[in-house]
Amino acid sequence: GIGGGAAMDLFGDLRRMNKRQLYYQVLNFAMIVSSALMIWKGLIVVTGSESPIVVVLSGSMEPAFHRGDLLFLTNFHDDPIRAGEIVVFKVEGRDIPIVHRVIKVHEKGNGNIKFLTKGDNNEVDDRGLYKEGQNWLEKKDVVGRARGFLPYVGMVTIIMNDYPKFKYALLAVMGAYVLLKRES
């Protein structure tokens, strides 16, 4: 079979590649990973949001956003939250942040704000999603507000969540590519 031959070639290549080259590729890979982490940390600082980029996982915000859209978030505390804005919030007891629109805002005299959210595509507001006895969100629940988006780029994330085998295949291919990439 072709598959077996390709695998043998791969190992032959790895054996022939001298140690220095291997070290170089491993360092190269480590640099790519650490650069990505630094960029991520930088985005967190610049945007004020603990997750500056999120993927829309459900269809509850269609047609504004679709499953797989990548959202860019900012979370500046001085910015007032307004009705009509799209926010990403976390609810106690749920791991995954929710992307929905603010439909009502209550501002108190002391500057405290409470607000209610709803998915554009949902029949009812989000009170059923909040933790029991919680009727409003507060600023501390907000992870960020949508500032821009790239359509469907996040589909890869969704596919990796839905099909874990795909994730491992993708990682294996990326790893092999980094190891075998010859310096031209």
Q: What's the CA gap between 151 and 68, in Å, rounded? A: 7
Q: Which of 126, 141, 162, 184 is catalytic?
A: 126
Q: Which of 49, 69, 100, 141 is catalytic?
A: 100
141 is catalytic: no
The DSSP element (H or E) to which 167 belongs, if any, is helix 164-180
Q: What's the CA gap between 184 and 173, in Å, rounded? A: 20
Give all strands of the β-sheet with 113-118 in edge-to-edge order: 53-55, 70-74, 142-150, 86-89, 98-107, 113-118, 137-138
78 is catalytic: no
Give the residues across from 33 on adjacent strands. none
Q: Which of 13, 34, 35, 60 is catalytic?
A: 60
106 is catalytic: no
Helix (H, G, I), strand (E, B), or coil: what is residue 14? Answer: helix
Q: What's the CA gap between 78 and 75, in Å, rounded? A: 9
**Residues labelled as active-site residues:** 60, 100, 126
